[in-house]
Amino acid sequence: MTTSTLAPTTPATTGERVLPPLRIGRHVIDSPVVLAPMAGITNRAFRRLCREAGDAGLAASGLTGASSLYVNEMVTSRALVERTPESMRLIEHDEDERPRSVQLYSVDPATTGAAVRMLVTEDRADHIDLNFGCPVPKVTRKGGGAALPWKRDLFRGIVSAAVTEAARADVPVTVKMRKGIDDEHLTYLEAAQAAVEEGVAAVALHGRTASQAYSGQADWSAIKLLKETITSVPVLGNGDIWSAEDALAMVEQTGCDGVVVGRGCLGRPWLFADLAAAFAGAEVRVTPTLGEVKDTLRRHAELLTDFYAGDELRACRDIRKHIAWYLKGFPAGSTVRNQLALVDSLAALDRLIETMDPTSPWPGAAAEGQRGRAGSSRVVALPENWLASRELDEDQRAQVAAAEQSVADGG
């Protein structure tokens, strides 16, 4: 894929590396960058697009999206153990995708262990990440995601179960978390220390609380403090990385060992090539024309069609949410944008994107900055009496057991 106005035959000139390769257990990730799992986004199709990203000039220097680590969208442990068709499809990887990374959500240690055992004994994953950062109400109200580290025993139990089972095949386990539930109930330092004691290979921190969701600014000072506290495994920073320059700034300000990128890559799969270049000390960046963006959009739709087993309608329904992100800042016209939001076939997509001027240059600042909905801060939905104690009581044990099944059922 070529998605840049950079000279296609001139290798990028690199300077001194900003960071060494990221080591997660037995895996060495040349570009210290991780794609954050995003529901409905980081499926096999999008991950492939990110891995392919980069222009010929960057590729000649080995600076492409292929050198980062890509985590699939979150899968619930219970659904995986029950082998629901959707969960089995979500953990699919391309033949050439390595390491194969799976993120699990769970509120039950036994189910976590069973899910990890399945993944490693059936050789379905090379790396497992545990989700302790999701702020979505339907997750936190059941004691999961960013709410879970508040319960020390439950948190340790889940991490321990995952690490024990994964160790049988030398598969590293990492954790991704937030600062805590809100500013009065912070958990990240204690949880990270517990996770390291249980044997995780790395810890990633999104510098927001669950209460903040995606609003306001990420607190990079928390990432700095975590890095100063945790010294035996890599610490990764997450939050407000919209460009390669943001990633460099985070590393400089926090000392983190790598970065986790989420919303910043929406409609910009080539961001991972930018990040590879930046961490290698190169100043070049991918600046695609509208024509090249159109090609990327079309490629994305093709990959989604394959992901959905040839179902063009489902693929087009999926690609609709990406349209505004891809076209941000470009002079595409409101009529075409509105029609693209209703596209129902690849042929219809082709007709619409053909009307846009392929020579329109990268719009610069107009295409940069925040992507995705920021929302606003809120009171976190939690199970009854969740904050009364740092340990589970009997009622809460029953609640989380039922919640594990409920989430697996889509509730």
Could you give the strand order of the β-sheet that contains 258-261, starting from the edge strand earlier in sequence? 69-70, 33-35, 258-261, 235-238, 202-206, 173-178, 127-132, 101-105, 75-76
Has 256 been annotated as catalytic?
A: no
Give CA–CA dist 102/114, Å, rounded: 14
DSSP string, 236-264: EEES---SHHHHHHHHHHH--SEEEE-GG
Give CA–CA dist 144/382, Å, rounded: 9
Give CA–CA dist 121/123, Å, rounded: 5
φ, ψ of residue 127 in degrees (nearest 5): -155, 140
50, 134, 265, 316: the catalytic one is 134
Give CA–CA dist 272/370, Å, rounded: 16
Give CA–CA dist 270/50, Å, rounded: 6
Q: Are 143 and 396 in contact (CB under 8 A)?
A: yes
Residues with Cβ within 8 Å of 184's Cβ and at least 6 positions away in sequence, in order, are none
Tell me the catalytic residues: 134
